[in-house]
Amino acid sequence: MVAISEWTGALRSKKYWQGTRALYDSDSNTYCCLGVLCELAGCKLSGRKLDSVDIFEFGDSFGKGIDKFFARDNMSRLEYLAFLNDMGLSFNVIAKEIEAIEGGDDGRYLQFTRDASASLIQEVRNFHTKGV
């Protein structure tokens, strides 16, 4: 079972190299933020290049904390995090956004469900880098 804090800690750990458009890319040894979650859950990602939608193959491995995080509208939150990752937001910013959503601050996520745009990416980046 993976806790939200374990996932966000791993994203900040610098142990995982960030990539885009795949849960894990063995050619470049890079992960999407969702691929890090899969790795923590013990999913077998090595030697594979998996799209973000392939995360559903591993859903039973995550545990109750993660299940609760995605419970309301599983696909939309997955899509949102994959979108942030693929648009170039750092693992650190994505970890902050996961914690914000977990804490009930999901305004930026709700905006995504209505309009995924470049201005949203800038808003998320600005929100999580104020005073850094």
pLDDT at residue 18 greater than cutoff 80: yes
Mean pLDDT of 47-53: 54
Range of the domain at 16: 4-129
Residue pLDDT, tens place only, 19-31: 988 888 888 889 9
Give the chain's domain count: 1
Q: How much is the pLDDT for 118?
A: 65
- Looking at residue 92, its pLDDT comes to 96
Percentage with pLDDT > 90 across the chain: 27
Residue 27 CB-half CA count within 13 A: 5
Task: Kindly state the average pLDDT of the residues 104-122.
Answer: 77
